[in-house]
Every structure is written in C-alpha cells, then in structure tokens.
Amino acid sequence: MGFAKEFKEFAFKGNVLDLAVGVIIGAAFSAIVKSFVDDIITPLLLNPALERANVKNIAELSWNGVKYGNFLSSVISFLIVAFVLFLLIKGVNSLNKKPETAPPPPVLTEDQKLLTEIRDLLKTKNNI
C-alpha cells in the first residue's frame, strides 16, 4: 500500500474528522464561555467583590504585585465548560442507556426435560 493511500485512509477516517470538528466546536464554545464569564458572570456576581477591592475590571485584581484576575477568570471559564460537558455527557449516556433485559431461560437437554417431567408427575401423584 502506498504512502499516499495510507495517509488518505488515516486522514479521512471518521475518528480524525470527528476530532477536527470537536476541536473547532470547542474553540467556538470557548469564545461563548469567555463572553459569558466576562459579560454576564463578572458584572452580575463579581462586581460587588470587585467594588470592595476598588477594581473596575477582573484583570486588574492583584495582590502584592501578582495579578491573579485573569487566572480567576480562566478558572471560572474552566468550571463552566467542565459543568456543561458533564451535563452533555450525562444526557448522552442516559439516551444511549439500553434497558436491562432478563437473560433467556437456559435450554434444557433431553435428559433434563425427562427428569423435569418425572418430577412433575411425582408431584401430582403425591398430591392426589
């Protein structure tokens, strides 16, 4: 098999294409989460804390010269992405979950069938 043919089979397998689509969607989702943190979470939830620290922007947060505001924003973004992925995977798993079915009864051999018939006959004979 030629090198070009091997590469074509590798590059165009479903797994590689799925991974590429996942990376692209992940990058787009990252932009959405960043906007969510910067434009919604920070103003609504963090503004009171930022005002107490006399800071207008989360990126300006610092302590002893160490600016940790961007790090805090990244941690919040990560937690949101992790939570959304957890919910997504949990939902997909619940959709893919197959109902448990009882195993089929075992197939009896001829000897077992005869012994079962003898047992049933003895039960009915003793009950009469």
Enter the pTM of the model. 0.50
Please tell me which residue, 100 or 1, carries the higher pLDDT value.
Answer: 100
| pLDDT above 70: residue 128 | no
* CA–CA distances in Å: residue 67 to residues 14, 54, 61, 62, 81: 43, 14, 6, 4, 23
Q: Give residue-wise pLDDT tens across range 91-119.
A: 888 887 777 787 888 888 999 999 999 99
Average pLDDT across the chain, whole number:
81
Q: Select the CATH number that applies to the domain covering 3-102 from these four: 1.10.1200, 3.40.630, 1.20.120, 3.40.50.
A: 1.10.1200
